[in-house]
């Protein structure tokens, strides 16, 4: 049965190769001082920085530079960003970059007017914001996380060896996001495919749970097929605008809460991947890719019906004369073939993980229920070892 739910998405999107101009429509809605949040400098090389600063200045904004948001933004960087926003009485946070900048902006937004340490409050105690929130806007330069249209924010604490996500309420979602597929074209191929696998896995996490005949699962299958199709075009020709557009749009829908409506979800691949990230600081999408196949092969017998459906509907596996186990296994083999074709990490060794790190990664893994098999710590260790 489709479960009961409410649904609203608070983020306004501007999509397309002319979408940056709509920043002019949005900026007048917010105060004069804008914290311009960006990463390690890619936006200076590809010209996006100059274009955004030009629009901010034309709109009379005072710019507070907040550069150097690293992939997998840290609790220390978050504290610095909060301090910067406080000192400059910032009215608006504009993130220009990938999920890391967008996630970081949301974390700053809920922390500026709050006395508590943000890491402890939001990522350890999982409290909700009880102070005034600074609004966030996002100009996306990498497709993957869905952060542009959701309330998620993932922060890493290297001292504590933890990488933890908090899904806030809709008031923390970006007020608007600007999605120009051309902005993603300067991504190195490795980052592009890491983003592609992140998208695909977000869909899987919401698909491989429950047995119901649910419209959300049909939408998920369509999104998966679009991601597979477009990614194969984009790895051959990264400049293919149509493929890059489809990837960007799929990323947004893969994790803006739509396809989880009315059903249960799993998220254990993300829990394993985040734990790998906490210990290694590896690229998010690659951490997911490295653990996925051992994870799905482990849970397949417990959710066989769905894995059969996945094989037939997503990969076009011919079921004729085969057992359910054979059909489901062929589906996972097709997934493996596609992952190799686009070039994601196929094991944890590629990410620098060694056998002596397994226990620490297992310690950092948060075990969730909702999947076809509720894991024990031993299951976590087994999947991590198989992923090496
Ligand atoms: O820092 P710069 O120089 O900008 O370089 C970035 C970074 O090195 C580069 N890049 C981005 N756009 C580019 C570009 N390089 C050239 N041209 C461009 N157009 O790509 C690198 C990775 O960027 P990052 O923002 O870290 O990647 P991503 O979008 O994958 O974000 C990863 C973070 O998001 C979290 C992850 O855990 C990780 O911390 N997630 C957030 C989620 C959410 N909010 O719902 C869900 C996800 O599952 C994920 O956990
Ligand atoms: Zn992800």
DSSP label of 348? S
> What pLDDT is stored for residue 62 in this prediction?
98
> What pLDDT is stored for residue 191 in this prediction?
98
Q: What is the pLDDT of residues 115-125, one digit of tens each?
A: 999 999 999 99
> What pLDDT is stored for residue 130 in this prediction?
95
- Residue 341 in this model has a pLDDT that exceeds 90: yes
> What pLDDT is stored for residue 284 in this prediction?
98
Q: Which residues pair with 65 in a beta bridge?
A: 36
Report the share of the chain in percent with pLDDT over 70: 100
- Residue 340 in this model has a pLDDT that exceeds 90: yes
Phi, psi dihedral angles at 165 (to 5 degrees): -105, 145
Dihedral angle sign, alpha carbons of residues 281, 284, 288, 289: negative
Q: Please state whether 257 falls in left (phi above 0), alpha (psi between -120 and 50) or beta.
A: left
C-beta 270 within 6 A of ligand 1: yes
Q: How many residues does the chain have?
A: 388
Q: What is the pLDDT of residues 251-278, one digit of tens each?
A: 999 999 999 999 999 999 999 999 999 9
DSSP label of 7? -
C-beta 144 within 6 A of ligand 1: yes
Q: What is the pLDDT of residues 196-249, one digit of tens each?
A: 999 999 999 999 999 888 899 999 999 999 999 999 999 999 999 999 999 999
Cβ < 5 A residues, ion ligand 2: 198
Q: How far apart are CA 146 and CA 141, in angstroms?
A: 12
> What pLDDT is stored for residue 111 in this prediction?
98
- Residue 53 in this model has a pLDDT that exceeds 90: yes
Residue whose Cα lies nearest atom 14 of ligand 1: it is: 187
Q: How far apart are CA 141 and CA 5, in angstroms?
A: 32
Q: How confident is the model at residue 22 (pLDDT cuts 50, 70, 90)?
A: very high
Q: How confident is the model at residue 141 (pLDDT cuts 50, 70, 90)?
A: very high
Q: The whole model's pTM is what? A: 0.98
């Amino acid at each position: 049965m489709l479960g009961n739910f409410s649904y609203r998405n608070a983020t306004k999107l501007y999509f397309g190769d002319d979408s940056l101009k709509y920043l002019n429509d949005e900026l007048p809605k917010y105060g004069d001082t804008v914290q311009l949040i960006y990463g390690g400098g890619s936006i200076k090389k590809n010209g996006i920085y100059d274009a955004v600063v030009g629009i901010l200045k034309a709109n009379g904004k005072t710019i507070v530079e907040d550069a150097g948001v690293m992939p997998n933004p840290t609790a220390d960087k978050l504290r610095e960003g909060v301090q910067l926003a406080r000192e400059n009485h910032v009215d608006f946070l504009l993130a220009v970059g990938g999920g890391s900048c967008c996630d970081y902006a949301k974390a700053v937004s809920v922390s500026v007017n709050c006395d508590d340490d943000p890491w402890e409050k939001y990522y350890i105690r999982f409290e909700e914001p009880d102070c005034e929130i600074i609004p966030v806007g996002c100009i996306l330069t990498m497709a993957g996380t869905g952060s542009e249209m959701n309330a998620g924010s993932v922060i890493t604490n290297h001292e504590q060896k933890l990488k933890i996500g908090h899904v806030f309420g809709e008031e923390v979602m970006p007020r608007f996001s600007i999605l120009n597929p051309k902005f993603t074209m300067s991504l190195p191929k490795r980052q592009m495919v890491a983003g592609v696998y992140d998208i695909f896995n977000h869909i899987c996490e919401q698909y491989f749970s429950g047995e119901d005949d649910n419209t959300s699962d049909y939408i998920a299958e369509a999104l998966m097929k679009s991601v597979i199709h477009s990614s194969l075009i984009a790895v051959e020709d990264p400049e293919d605008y149509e493929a890059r557009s489809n990837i960007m749009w799929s990323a947004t829908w893969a994790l803006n809460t739509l396809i989880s409506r009315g059903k249960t979800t799993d998220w254990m691949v993300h829990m394993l991947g985040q734990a790998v990230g906490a210990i290694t600081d590896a690229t998010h999408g690659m951490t997911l890719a490295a653990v996925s196949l051992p994870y799905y092969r482990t849970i397949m017998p417990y959710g066989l019906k769905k894995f059969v459906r996945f094989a037939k509907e997503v990969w076009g596996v011919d079921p004729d004369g085969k057992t359910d186990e054979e059909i489901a296994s062929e589906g996972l083999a097709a997934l493996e073939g596609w992952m190799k074709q686009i070039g994601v990490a196929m094991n944890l060794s590629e990410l620098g993980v060694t056998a002596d790190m397994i226990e620490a990664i297992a310690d950092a893994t948060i075990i969730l229920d909702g999947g076809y098999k509720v894991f024990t710590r031993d299951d976590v260790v087994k999947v991590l070892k198989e992923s090496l």
